[in-house]
Structure 1
Amino acid sequence: MTALKALGIWLIILVVAVANGILRESVLMPMLGLTAGLILSGMLLSVLILVITFFTLPWLQANRRSKLAGIGLFWLLLTLVFEFAFGWSQGKPLSVILDAYTFKDGNLWPVVLLVTVTSPYVAARLREICLPEH
C-alpha cells in the first residue's frame, strides 16, 4: 500500500515539475535569461518537492528511516525512468539527455534529484521540528 501511495505522491510531483518546466520555458527564461531562469526554476522545483513531501508524509505512514529512504529511492528511480523515456520519445540522443545532469548554464537538475531522493527523510525531520508531538 505504501508503494501505491508513494506513486500517487510522485505523480503529483510530476505534474508540478511539468508545470514548473512550462513556467521556466515560457516566463522565467524569457524574462531572466537562460542561467537565471534555470537557477530559479531548479530552486522553485526543489522547494515544491519538499513542501509536497512535508504535507503528504503523514498519509504515507513512513515512520522508519529505511522506509523513508526506500520512498526517496523509489521517487528517484521513477524520475530517472520518466526523464530518459521522455527524452528518447522526443528523439533526443543520450548525450543531450545527459546534458541535463550537469550544472551547465545554471542547471540545477542534479540538485533537484538530490532533493527528490532525500525529501522523505528531510520532511520527516522538519515535521519533528515544526510539528512536535506532545
Structure 2
Amino acid sequence: MLTVVALKTLVIWVCILVLAVANGALRESVLIPGIGTPAALVLSGLLLSILIIGVAYLSFPWLRISGPVQLLGVGLGWLALTVVFEFSFGFWQGKSWPELLEAYTFKDGNIWPVVLAATVLAPYIAARLRSWA
C-alpha cells in the first residue's frame, strides 16, 4: 500500500510529466522550426529543468518532507518514474535500444542527462530555496 508521501510524490510527478509533454510539444512545434535542433534541445532542456524545480518548490508545503534522506528518496523516485516512462513510451513507439540510449548522451545539443540530474536534485533545491534544508 502506498504511503501518503509516496502517493503525493506520484501526483506531483504526474504534474511534471504533463509539463514535460507540453515542453516537448513546444520544442517540436515552435523551437526547432524557429532556432534549429541543437539550440532548441538546449533551451527545452533548461526550461524543463526549471519547470521541474518550480513544481518541487510549489509542492513542498503540501508534500511535507524534510531531511536529506526523504529529499533524496523523492528525487530518486521521480527519476525512476521518469526513466521507466521514457523507456516504456520509447519501446511502445518501436524505438530500438540504441535510439533510446542516444538521449542519454550530449549529442547535437541534447541535455537530457542534465534534466535527469535536475529531477533528482529538485526536492533538495526546493528545500534549500525555502530554507528547509
Fold shared, TM-score > 0.5 on shorter chain: yes
Structure 1 segments, 4+ long, off by >2 Å, are none
**Alignment counterpart, residue 62 of structure 1, candidates 60, 65, 86:** 65
* Aligned counterpart, 1:132: none
* Aligned counterpart, 1:9: 12
Distance 2:97 2:24 in 1: 20
Distance 1:36 1:115 in 2: 19
Count how many residue pairs are aligned between Structure 1 and Structure 2: 129
Amino acid at match of 2:130: R
What aligned pairs does 1:49-128 form with structure 2 within 5 A after superposition? 49-128=52-131
1:59-99 deviation line (CA, Å, top 9, x unaligned): 11111111110000000000000000000000000000000
Distance 2:105 2:120 in 1: 17
The alignment's C-alpha RMSD in Å is 0.9
- Is 1:18 the counterpart of 2:21 in the alignment? yes
Superposition deviation, residue 108 in structure 1: 0.9
Structure 2: gaps spanning 5 or more residues: none
Distance 1:39 1:128 in 2: 29
Amino acid at match of 1:14: L
1:15-74 deviation line (CA, Å, top 9, x unaligned): 000000000000000000011100100000000000110010111111111111000000
Identity %: 58
Structure 1: gaps spanning 5 or more residues: 130-134
- Is 1:35 the counterpart of 2:38 in the alignment? yes
